[in-house]
Amino acid sequence: MMLPTIAALRAQFAAGKLTREELVSRALDGARAPAAAHVFIRLYENVALEAARHADALARAGVPLPPLAGLPVSVKDLFDVAGEPTPAASLLRADAPPAAADAPAVARLRAAGAALVGRTNMSEFAFSGVGINPHHDTPANPADSTVARIPGGSSSGAAVSVALGLSVAGLGSDTAGSIRIPAALCGLVGFKSTQSRVPLDGAFPLSQTLDTVCAMARSVEDCLVVDGVLAGAPMPVARRPLDGLRLALPQTLVLDALEPAVARAYDRALQDLSAAGARLVELPLAELAEIGQINAPGGLSPVEAWATHREDMRARRERFDPRVAARVALGEGVSAADYIRMLQRRREWIARVEQRLGGFDAYVCPTVPLVAPPIADLLDSDEAFFKTNGLLLRNTLPVNFMDGCAFSLPCHASGELPVGLMLAAPGGADARLATVALAVEAALAAGR
């Protein structure tokens, strides 16, 4: 069960109903329970408890504490932690040289007093939206107690750690949806910021052009608390009602082949937003259909992943997840001229999309077009796996492609499998988008 929000936990601490040490101890006990199988690759029990005890001692002494002090936070396995290798959930890097220092994102969490509970499982090298990992197995989505469903990826363990109440936030990355997809499938809030907000240093790369360091949590407010730590300073967010905000509803690509459960939840969400006064405007946004052509040949992620992995692909390909290797191999043989052309055409595309979105506070669509399928359906069928992976990435990738920012908010009703509602805006509009996300979150809660 998910933890209360950060603000609610701090109220419990202040009232003497809970200590941070008790909270972290429960999280560590939960991390060892069967329901949390395959969520963590490594636990930091002593480090987490020490951070919690330190925060409790400061609180008893009357020292004001930052919001994350002593709270459990998980770290995706692709971030450098001083003194340890950074495997990115692979076999190839299990014996990599230890990191000389924490990644800036990890260092900032430590400096904020967060109790880092462990390294979370993920799609190998972050190269899948599904979340299946053949080396460390796959954490089951907690949204269904009867069927083991995919958690979404690539930040699979991060999402399940939050959904099970083992952390208040999961530090992860988002290259084409790797925060928002698992957030949507597990019923969480995920925030993909503009890439430049948080340093990429110390995060094992998938695509230097598209990678973003960000996190998922229980609420929009919690995501903003964590983002303020990761970015080095909180963004100025002005709260306002939804009434009068202009929200674009793209009609190209993002509404194709929606599963009935997603279509129903999306329609209800739009009704809630309209009832709260949002001005919903259908927008063709035909540019979304151009990404496949602009991103050819190979695609930015495969080309840049090939640059990272080419030596291992040639010498030790058998040690890769075969499905990851197949996607990395798409970048082999792409010429420098073709790569530069991709980047140039992307810049031109971004300018056109930003012009189309001018005058709107955000655009809105389903985060993904399906609910989480059973893990078993995808383990033995490459065809089913790659079809599902493509669908999961379809609506989220355009945000990375335009170097934009986006939230995924849960919009399903109680008793339904999770469905995400995505709010997106061009790069640099993070604070404006956060204002929209807070208002949309309140409208959805009122509707439910």
Shared domain for 399 and 418, answered yes or no, is yes
Shared domain for 215 and 275, answered yes or no, is no
Shared domain for 201 and 90, answered yes or no, is yes
Give the total number of structural domains in the chain. Answer: 3
Rounded to whole angstroms, what are the CA distances from 32 to 38, 43, 301? 10, 9, 35
- pLDDT at 196 (0 to 100): 98
Catalytic site residues?
76, 154, 178
Shared domain for 320 and 409, answered yes or no, is no
Cα–Cα distance measured from residue 356 to residue 170, given in angstroms and rounded to the nearest whole number: 33
In a domain, 241, yes or no: no
Asked whether the beta carbons of 269 and 365 are under 8 A apart, the reply is no
Neighbours of 367 (CB within 10 A): 31
Identify the CA nearest to 75 among candidates 203, 200, 180.
203
The residues pairing with 96 across neighbouring beta strands, listed in sequence order, are none
In a domain, 337, yes or no: no
In a domain, 351, yes or no: yes
Last-in-domain residue among 203, 231, 259: 231
Domain region containing 278? 246-288+342-447
Shared domain for 326 and 365, answered yes or no, is no
Neighbours of 4 (CB within 10 A): 17
In a domain, 50, yes or no: yes
Neighbours of 290 (CB within 10 A): 17
Shared domain for 299 and 164, answered yes or no, is no
Shared domain for 323 and 346, answered yes or no, is no
In a domain, 238, yes or no: no
- pLDDT at 447 (0 to 100): 81
Asked whether the beta carbons of 285 and 395 are under 8 A apart, the reply is no
Shared domain for 45 and 70, answered yes or no, is yes
Cα–Cα distance measured from residue 411 to residue 278, given in angstroms and rounded to the nearest whole number: 16
Tell me, what amino acid is at 25? Answer: S
> Which two tokens mark 319?
């040690």
In a domain, 420, yes or no: yes
Instruction: Return per-residue pLDDT of the chain as tens, 448 residues.
Output: 789 999 999 999 999 999 999 999 999 999 999 999 999 999 999 999 999 999 999 999 999 999 999 999 999 999 999 999 999 999 999 999 999 999 999 999 999 999 999 999 999 999 999 999 999 999 999 999 999 999 999 999 999 999 999 999 999 999 999 999 999 999 999 999 999 999 999 999 999 999 999 999 999 999 999 999 999 999 999 999 999 999 999 999 999 999 999 999 999 999 999 999 999 999 999 999 999 999 999 999 999 999 999 999 999 999 999 999 999 999 999 999 999 999 999 999 999 999 999 999 999 999 999 999 999 999 999 999 999 999 999 999 999 999 999 999 999 999 999 999 999 999 999 999 999 999 999 999 998 7
| Domain CATH for 167 | 3.90.1300.10
Identify the CA nearest to 132 among candidates 402, 423, 392, 416.
392
Shared domain for 28 and 95, answered yes or no, is yes
Shared domain for 211 and 66, answered yes or no, is yes
Cα–Cα distance measured from residue 196 to residue 231, given in angstroms and rounded to the nearest whole number: 9
What per-residue string of b and e applies to 145-179 under the rule 16 or more CB within 10 Å gives b? Answer: eeeebbbbbbbbbbbbbbbbbbbbbbbbbbbbbbb
Please give the model's pTM, rounded to 2 decimal places: 0.98
Cα–Cα distance measured from residue 202 to residue 171, given in angstroms and rounded to the nearest whole number: 13
Shared domain for 210 and 326, answered yes or no, is no
Asked whether the beta carbons of 437 and 421 are under 8 A apart, the reply is no
- pLDDT at 448 (0 to 100): 78
Dihedral sign, Cα of residue 315, residue 319, residue 325, residue 331: negative
Shared domain for 252 and 366, answered yes or no, is yes
In a domain, 123, yes or no: yes
Quickly list DSSP for 84-151: S---TT-STTTTPPPBSS--HHHHHHHHTT-EEEEEEP-SGGG--SS---TTT--PPPTT-SSS-B--
Asked whether the beta carbons of 349 and 294 are under 8 A apart, the reply is yes
- pLDDT at 145 (0 to 100): 96
At 439 the three-state DSSP class reads helix
> Which two tokens mark 57?
């001692």
In a domain, 1, yes or no: no
Cα–Cα distance measured from residue 324 to residue 307, given in angstroms and rounded to the nearest whole number: 14
Contacts of 390 (CB under 8 A, 6+ apart): none
